[in-house]
Amino acid sequence: MADSSPPPGLPPYIIVFGPSANCTLDLCPLEYSVYRYRPSLPANIVFIVLYALALLVHAYLGFRWKQIWFMVCVILGCLVEIVGYIGRIIMHGNPFLFAGFMTQIVFITSGPIFYTAAIYITLSKAISHFSPSLSRFPPRLYYWIFIPADVICLVLQAAGGALSTVSSGSNQTGIDLAFAGLILQVIVIFIFCFLFADHMIRFFRQSSPSSSKGGAGHIEASANIRPQRMNIFLGGLAASILLILARCVFRCYELREGYSGETMSEEGLFIGLEGVLIVVAVFALCFGHPGLVFDKNQGAVVEGVVEREKADHSSSSIAGNQA
């Protein structure tokens, strides 16, 4: 964990880490700061711009396709990330400023939780339409299990950050809580990926022309979906969740030694395995957007399913009247 006591050679009144830190670059060498580097100003500005752009794109898509819940989750994630990178810009000005450090560590760490919530709900709804009979358990359980688990991850990470704040960053319990939240997030995402992959493998096997059970009309709500659109949707979601999983593994590795670990001082790793991975994941959700395959009323899949259901209903009514 980080130490707030003055390093050798500095006056005893100097505090290098914590809410009462009074170090500046004029008073203390940069290597005494928690990261031992000044966060890159250009890189953090670029990330803020990209998240702002992603926010606008998802707002447009959300209102256009009326996928409000998905839009709200992604926008909240983008806002949280923006606040976190503002914290890093503050640290560029003063790497010893504890408020900047805690802002970025809490917000950037917890931001992807909102994206996974959007993915869990979207894929739960997708399974409900893409042959729910193939699911090993009711599709609603996907968000009744994974969304609460997501909330627990968020609470653990936020509580860890709060304890670190009130203890000047020296409370190992706070670090352990944040670490536990990240570990739980990795486990939850991994289990989710396994279950969804299992369902989609079963789905594509059953819907293939060579399958004895395949053919038109066998897979519920799938007959009129354009294959290209379906592939884009599933590919975008898969890319996003796998990128988030890779990032969470990195953050667990980074935090395993606390705030004073060697990995914490590698800005290149942070930019590549946190910043880039999550930005790409957010834009991948533009392609994994539920609006690609669901109608604006959250009901049947687009490309004619609604019309097909209406036609079936009309045919049944006519047959009933004739009888």
List of domains in the chain: 38-206+226-290 (1.20.1070)
Helix (H, G, I), strand (E, B), or coil: what is residue 241?
Answer: helix
pLDDT (0 to 100) of residue 227? 77
Task: Work out the angle at residue 207's Cα, subtended by the Cα atoms of residues 206 and 213, and round it to the nearest 5 degrees.
Answer: 50
Q: For 40, phi and psi rounded to 5 degrees?
A: -60, 120
pLDDT (0 to 100) of residue 223? 44
How many whole angstroms separate alpha carbon 287 and alpha carbon 109? 24
pLDDT (0 to 100) of residue 230? 84
| Burial of residue 227 (number of CB atoms within 10 Å: 0-12, 13-18, 19+) | exposed
Task: Work out the angle at residue 269's Cα, subtended by the Cα atoms of residues 149 and 171, and round it to the nearest 5 degrees.
Answer: 55
Smallest Cα–Cα separation from 192: which of 127, 129, 131, 250?
A: 127
C-alpha dihedral sign at 26, 30, 32, 38: positive
Q: Which two tokens stand for residue 273?
A: 């395995």
Q: Which two tokens stand for residue 274?
A: 């946190």
Q: Give the type of residue at 319.
A: A
pLDDT (0 to 100) of residue 84? 98
pTM of the predicted structure, to 2 decimals: 0.86
Residue with tokens 């293939």: 208
Q: For 254, phi and psi rounded to 5 degrees?
A: -65, -40
The number of helix segments (H) and strand segments (E) in the chain equals: 10, 0
pLDDT (0 to 100) of residue 30? 94
| Residues in the chain where the model's pLDDT stays below 50 | 215-219, 221, 223, 299-313
How many whole angstroms separate alpha carbon 178 and alpha carbon 164? 10
